[in-house]
Amino acid sequence: MPQIPRDERKTVDADVGIIGAGPAGLMLAHLLRRSGLRVVAIDHRGAEEIHRTHRAGILEHESVRMLAEPDLGSRVLTDGHLHDGIDLRFGRRSHRIDFQELVGESVWLYPQNEVFWDLARAAEHHRMDVRYGVADASAFDVATDHPGIRFTDSDGSAREIRCRYVVGADGSKSATRGLIPREIRRDYFAEYPFAWFGILAETPPSAPELIYAQSPRGFALISQRSDTVQRLYFQCDPATDPADWSQDQIWEELQARIDGPDGMTLRRGPIIESTVLKFRSFVCDPMRYHRLYLAGDAAHTVPPTGAKGLNLALADVRVLAPALIRAVRDGDETLLGEYSETALSRVWKAQNFSYWMTTMLHTAPGETEFATARRLGELRAVTESPHGRAYLAEQYTGWPFHPTVS
Applying CB under 6 A, which of residues 231, 268, 291, 362 lies at the interface with ligand DHB?
231
Separation between Cα atoms, residue 274 and residue 283, nearest integer Å: 28
DSSP string, 190-257: EEEEEEEEEEEEES--SSSS-EEE--TT--EEE---SSSEEEEEEEE-TT--GGG--HHHHHHHHHHH
Q: Does 57 sit near ligand DHB (CB under 6 A)?
A: yes
Applying CB under 6 A, which of residues 19, 28, 37, 56 lies at the interface with ligand DHB?
56
Catalytic residue among 44, 83, 300, 362: 83
**Helix (H) / strand (E) containing 135:** strand 135-140
Query: What b-and-e string marks burial along 382-394, b requiring 16 or more CB atoms within 10 Å of the CB?
Result: bbeeeebbbbbbb
Q: Segment contacting ligand DHB (CB under 6 A): 56-64, 94-102, 136-144, 314-322?
A: 56-64
Instruction: Report helix, strand or coil for 348.
Output: helix
Smallest distance from ligand DHB to CB 277, Å: 9
List CB contacts of 263: < 8 A, sequence separation 6 or more.
Answer: none
Separation between Cα atoms, residue 258 and residue 264, nearest integer Å: 7
Q: Does 306 sit near ligand DHB (CB under 6 A)?
A: yes
Catalytic residue among 110, 165, 192, 212: 212
- Let me know: does 219 contact 192? Beta carbons within 8 Å: no
Applying CB under 6 A, which of residues 64, 307, 320, 321 lies at the interface with ligand DHB?
307
Which 196-215 residues touch ligand DHB, going by CB under 6 A?
210
- Let me know: does 28 contact 34? Beta carbons within 8 Å: no
Q: Does 305 sit near ligand DHB (CB under 6 A)?
A: yes
Catalytic residue among 110, 304, 322, 362: 304
Catalytic residue among 30, 300, 308, 362: 308
Q: Does 58 sit near ligand DHB (CB under 6 A)?
A: yes
Size of the residue set binding ligand DHB (CB under 6 A): 11
Q: Which residues are catalytic?
A: 83, 212, 304, 308, 396
Binding site for ligand DHB (CB under 6 A): 56-58, 210, 221, 223, 231, 304-307
